[in-house]
Amino acid sequence: MASNLVIVESPAKAKTIEGFLGKDFLVKSSFGHVRDLYQKELSIDIANDFKPHYEISPDKKKLIEELKQIAKKSDTVWLASDEDREGEAISWHLSEALNLDMEKTKRIVFHEITKTAILEAIKNPRGIDLNLVDAQQARRVLDRLVGFELSPVLWKKIKPSLSAGRVQSVAVRLIVEREKEINAFNEISTYKVTGQFFINKGNEKVILKADLSTKFDTKEEALNFLNKCAEAEFTISDIETKPAKKSPAPPFTTSTLQQEASRKLNFSVSKTMVVAQQLYEAGKITYMRTDSVNLSDMAIDLAKTEITKSYGHEYSRVRKYTTKTKGAQEAHEAIRPTYMNNHTIEGDAAQKKLYDLIWKRTLASQMSDALLEKTNVTIDISTTPEKFIAKGEVLKFDGFLKVYMESTDDDIEDDESKGMLPPLNKGQKLDPKQIDAIQKYSQHPPRYTEASLVKKLEELGIGRPSTYAPTISTIQKRGYVVNEDRKGTERNYEIITLEENKIKETGKTEVTGTEKSKLFPTDIGTLVNDFLVSHFDRILDYNFTANVEKEFDKIAQGLKIWNEMIKGFYSTFHKNVENVLGDSERPNYERHIGIDPKTGKNVIVRMGRFGPVIQLGDNSEEEKPRFASPKKDQRIETITLEEALKQFELPRTIGSFEDEDMIAAIGKFGPYIRHKSAFYSLPKEDDPLSIGKDRAIEIILAKRQKDIEKVINIFKHEDKDIQVLNGRWGAYIAVEKTNYKIPKKTDPKSLTLDDCLKIINETPQETSNKKTYSKTTKKK
DNA sequence: CAGTGAGCGAGCTTCCGCTTGACTT
């Protein structure tokens, strides 16, 4: 029997560590926290110094019983949870839940999973740091108080089941405020000038591209400039060459991994975490929830060996990175391959891609700088003081770029065609091929992606590596935010070209505003945010977390008592909550967007009982107002009068067919036609606002034909209809509401009643265990 | 997954962080 019990947080970690320690050590995992406040109640005794009321988490009861038994038989229990606030609390909760004898309980910590680190830790045990535990209790209690007092305010004032919290509400605020910035953005255009010059390079002519250092605000200025160029002489006045270097990015943390996997692999934040978890459990990478960029000495050594072996020693450069992130707790290493010599791994496509990314990033982080030579060529124009600048770049030594280059979010960067320049001399006269002034529009600030939101939250010190993905799914589940694509719109721009002394104007169109997988606030998200910001500005302040973190740090250092800190916070917070609940005012967000020219009635958009609604006419008038729902992508804040009025054109009578009206409308499942109380979905290419009578009849007849074809056979069996039907995915058998697959090779037409019954009986009962990434369907 | 096209009703909802699992067909 093992005489030592070691408890760590993760089972994968337990497995590895068990190998390092002798037979005397049994290593078990706590699977994270084992106790928490009750899920359904506040569980904080406010009158009694905010005493928390803990319970063993329901899913941990069995585990605790098991650990209790083992602990009883062990000489020493080693609590080896992570070395941060939460980890310390886990150890403390374990000691309480297991009723551990503190005489034979030891607390140990290690940041890297290596044999030496663990043996070293065993040699240096300590007690549980109760100050650190108190800091965690303060964090936990504060979050519960905020969440469980704020959410009910929303239920009363806005609608049931909404939620608010220290982290999620600020995440929503970021998205709502960005959207407001975008709505308020004033697009302006300028004229950007680029010149192309002929250069003789031996016998051939090559083109030198150069940008003008100034941009013009108006077309007149651009034209004026081009006119001056028509008579000008172009001379190289200066060639400046200077060395430059690029350094690799630090190894991955959770947040940077999520960002890069999003940019390079198009992974959602939760997908990245699921795949990383698989790699971790397979022993391929280190722990994936970390805020540290630190690599263990062993990892640095392995990387150095690998780089020297694969690329030569001039590519190796040992680098130590330090974490600058606000509030980082650094309980783990950076995310890296467990074995640097595994360039690739076995696994599915996603696992391979993510591993490749991690491997390259880690290796590159230990490689030398890339060395460049940058050249700036200045071209004078004889008739005007503006100057053209041509830029060149030559890679002298690739260094880390041999394996990896980090991506950036600003993909709309001007593609200054940097490359090698042809041979040029100072004083050289240049022969212009053409000069273009292109109208460019200013860009509004970008909408957040899931990953760029994580980046922002991390910068603000809000949330932790283990909560980034869940937070993003929560704000979507509550309906505050949607992640979607939006189609762009066309706009015109101009190009003015000077070529062979002639000026030519060309009008062109481009598509602007296309969005792919971006976060948009919904109406309810905007409404909740505006309400919270106006009444609970302290909690919604971007610095709120950073401020309370300072206090938690003081508690951890023993300079502050945790429940006194909470008391200070709560007294003002709770008063605030009561005041808001006390005033009878309900947030009334409505926008009067204009007057209907046909009826002269007011057009109002507002949040109704069942979501956003457009109202035509006031409530007080004799005639009842008309209502319509906005389209899915229309928002209360931005919908125009024209768009709103359009929504009243449906339902619309198209004409009559077989003595009954055909009515076009948009329902829950998209546009449709109703005729004789039957419904016909409209294909994408048909618009319910404009569809004609003939086309509508065509759709109705087509559907009828399909319905006839749908039925292959009907059998009667014990008062039930057994139907063989044609569905979208081929033939199937339907009995009342249940459907059964027909084996692939059988011809559905040939099926007899007995065949059908056989299939029905052989089909196993439904196993509805759907796997999803984001939805954790917890129902009690 | 198998083709849909709502309307008051009682009682419930909710936080953030740590970690993975799932009684049986």
Q: How many whole angstroms separate alpha carbon A690 and alpha carbon A289?
A: 53
Q: Is the CB of A32 under 7 A from strand B?
A: yes
In 3-state terms, what secondary structure has residue A193?
A: strand
The pair phi, psi for residue A688, each rounded to 5°, is -60, -25
pTM for this model (two decimals): 0.85
**Stated in angstroms, how far is A688 CA from B5 C1'?**
14
Q: How many whole angstroms separate alpha carbon A688 and alpha carbon A681?
A: 10
Q: A485-489: long-range contacts at Cβ-Cβ below 8 A with a sequence spacing of 24 or more?
A: A485/A515, A485/A516, A485/A517, A485/A518, A486/A513, A486/A514, A486/A515, A486/A518, A486/A520, A486/A633, A487/A514, A488/A512, A488/A513, A488/A514, A488/A515, A489/A513
**Stated in angstroms, how far is A398 CA from B23 C1'?**
59
Q: Is the CB of A160 under 7 A from strand B?
A: yes
Q: Is the CB of A19 under 7 A from strand B?
A: no
Q: Closest nucleotide to A34's CA, by C1' atom?
A: B18
pLDDT at A737: 62
Contact (CB, 8 A) for A272 and A468? no
pLDDT at A640: 86
A22 bridge partner residues: none
pLDDT at A530: 93
Q: Is the CB of A152 under 7 A from strand B?
A: yes
A481 bridge partner residues: A521
pLDDT at A668: 62
In A 534-553, which Cβ lie closer than 7 Å to strand B? 545
Sequence-ordered list of residues with C-beta below 8 angstroms from that of A649, at least 6 positions apart, any chain: A689
**Residue A146 structure tokens:** 């905020």
Residue with tokens 């706590």: A30
Q: Is the CB of A37 under 7 A from strand B?
A: yes
Q: Closest nucleotide to A161's CA, by C1' atom?
A: B13
**Stated in angstroms, how far is A404 CA from B18 C1'?**
33
Q: Is the CB of A283 under 7 A from strand B?
A: no
Q: How many whole angstroms separate alpha carbon A112 and alpha carbon A134?
A: 26
pLDDT < 50: residue spans in chain A: 412-416, 766-780
pLDDT at A636: 84
pLDDT at A415: 47
Contact (CB, 8 A) for A50 and A142? no
Contact (CB, 8 A) for A693 and A686? no
Q: Which amino acid, residue A528?
A: V
pLDDT at A66: 97
Which listed residue (A287, A311, A404, A468) is catalytic? A287
Contact (CB, 8 A) for A362 and A337? yes
pLDDT at A208: 95
- In 3D space, the residue among A716, A711, A718, A712 whose CA is nearest the CA of residue A753 turns out to be A716
Q: How many whole angstroms separate alpha carbon A453 and alpha carbon A79?
A: 35
Which of the nucleotides in strand B have any atom less than 7 Å away from a protein CB atom?
A: 1-7, 11-21, 24-25
Q: Is the CB of A488 under 7 A from strand B?
A: no
- In 3D space, the residue among A380, A400, A401, A519 whose CA is nearest the CA of residue A456 turns out to be A519
Cα A113 to Cα A333, A358, A360, distances in angstroms: 9, 18, 21
pLDDT at A776: 32
**Stated in angstroms, how far is A175 CA from B7 C1'?**
31
pLDDT at A410: 64
Q: Closest nucleotide to A608's CA, by C1' atom?
A: B7
Note if A287 is an active site residue: yes
Contact (CB, 8 A) for A236 and A425? yes
**Stated in angstroms, how far is A176 CA from B14 C1'?**
21
**Helix ranges, A598-648 (H):** 641-646
pLDDT at A2: 62
Instruction: Give the closest residue to B22 (Cα–C1′).
Output: A769
Q: Is the CB of A147 under 7 A from strand B?
A: yes
What kind and span of H or E run contains A78? strand A76-79
Q: Closest nucleotide to A152's CA, by C1' atom?
A: B14
Q: Closest nucleotide to A159's CA, by C1' atom?
A: B13
In 3-state terms, what secondary structure has residue A490?
A: strand
pLDDT at A564: 98
